Chain A
Amino acid sequence: MIRRFAIAFTSLLLLAAPVFAQPPAGQSEFVPVNGIPENEKLPAAPLLVVAYAVFLVLMVGYVWTVWRRLSKVEAEMHALEQRTMKGGR
C-alpha cells in the first residue's frame, strides 16, 4: 500500500515539474559593447539584410497596389462621366 502510494506521489511530482517550470526571464536591457569578434558579424548579416529588404519590398509593393487601384477607379470614373455626358446630350 505504502509502495503504491510512494509510486503515485513520485509520478505526480514528476508530472507537476514541467507544469510549474517557467521559461528563463527575457533580457531586460541592451548593453553596448566595443570589441566585436569577427566571426560573430557574418552569420547575422544575411538575416539583417533580409529584414530590411523585406520592409522595402513590402512598402514598394503596398504603394504600387494602392496606385494601381487608384488608377483603376479614376479610369472607371472617367468612363462613367463620359457616358453620362453622352446620355445628357
Chain B
Amino acid sequence: MRKLFPVLAAVTAIVFATTPFLIANAPYESTMLLIQKIFYYHVPSWVAMYCGLGVCAVGSVLYLFKDSRAGDRYAEAAAELIVVFAGNGLISGPLWARKAWGVWWQWDARLTIALLVWLIFVAYLMVRKYGGPGSEKLAAAVGIFGAAVSPFLYFSVTIWRTIHPPTSVVPDIIENPKGMAAPLLVSMLAFVLLFVLLLNLRVRLAERQDALDDLYLTLED
C-alpha cells in the first residue's frame, strides 16, 4: 500500500481539482438557487463519514473479539476521520440551512442524531487519549455503539418527519440526470478517495506509535 500511496494521492488531487469546475457548471436548483451548491461537498462529506463508521465498526469488532492490533489501528484512524468529516458536515449544513430555512440550526431528528454521532466519536478519541491503560477495549465498545447509531441517522428522515431533505434526493439526482449527477458523483468519488488516503496516512502513524511502544517495552525488559 505504501507504494500505491503517491499514486492514490495524485488521483485524489486530480479528481478534487475537477470538482470546482463541475460544481460551477451545474444548474441552479429552482428554489434554493446558489446555496444548493453546498450540497456537492456536504453530502459527500457524510458519505466519507459513513465509510469511517464501517471501518471503525469492523476494526473495533476485530479488536474486541479477535484481539487484532491492526483492527484497533484502523478503528482509531477511522474514528478520527469520522470526527473530521462529520465536523465538516455539521458546519456546512448550518451554512446551507441559514439561507434555505432561515435558521442556523433546528433540533430535528436528523440534525440531532448527526450531532450525537459526532459527540460519540469525540468521546471515543477522548477515552483513548485520557482513559489510561486498557482504554483501547473500552474505546472499541464505544466505536461499535457509535456505528450502531448510524442506521438511525440514515433513516431518521424517513422514520420521522423532519425539515431536512430526504435521502431520496440523492438517488433521484443520479437516476434522473439534470446536470446535477456528474458533480455529485465526482465529488463523492473525490471524498471516498480522500478518506482512503487519510485513513492510510493515519494508520501509518498508529503503526509507528505501536512500534515505539514496543521499543520502550523491549528496553524495559
Q: Chain A: residues with CB nearer than 8 A to chain B?
A: 22-34, 36, 40-41, 43-45, 47-48, 50-52, 54-55, 58-59, 62-63, 66, 69-70, 73-74, 76-77, 80-81, 83-84
Contact = CB atoms under 8 A, between A and B. Distances in A.
A78 to B, nearest CB: 10
Interface of B: 27-39, 41-42, 45, 80, 84, 87-88, 91-92, 95-96, 98-99, 108, 157, 161-166, 168-169, 172-173, 178-180, 194, 198, 201-202, 204-205, 208-209, 211-212, 215-216, 219
A48 B31 CA distance: 16
Which 4 pairs, one residue from A and one from B, show the smallest C-beta to C-beta distance? A32-B27, A44-B35, A33-B30, A44-B34
Contacts of B28: 32-33, 36
B38 A48 contact: yes
A80 B98 CA distance: 53
Contacts of A81: 215
Contacts, number: 128
Contacts of A52: 41
Contacts of B198: 62-63, 66
A28 B41 contact: no
Nearest to B39: A30
A66 B172 contact: no
Contact of A23 (B33, B161, B204): B161
B108 A23 contact: yes
Contacts of B95: 47-48, 50-51, 54
B215 A55 contact: no
A33 B91 CA distance: 27
Contacts of B194: 59
Given A26-B164, A26-B166, A45-B34, A66 B201 contact: yes
B108 A63 contact: no
Given A23-B162, A58-B87, A77 B173 contact: no
A36 to B, nearest CB: 5
Contacts of B99: 43-44, 47
Given A32-B30, A47-B99, A66-B201, A55 B208 contact: no
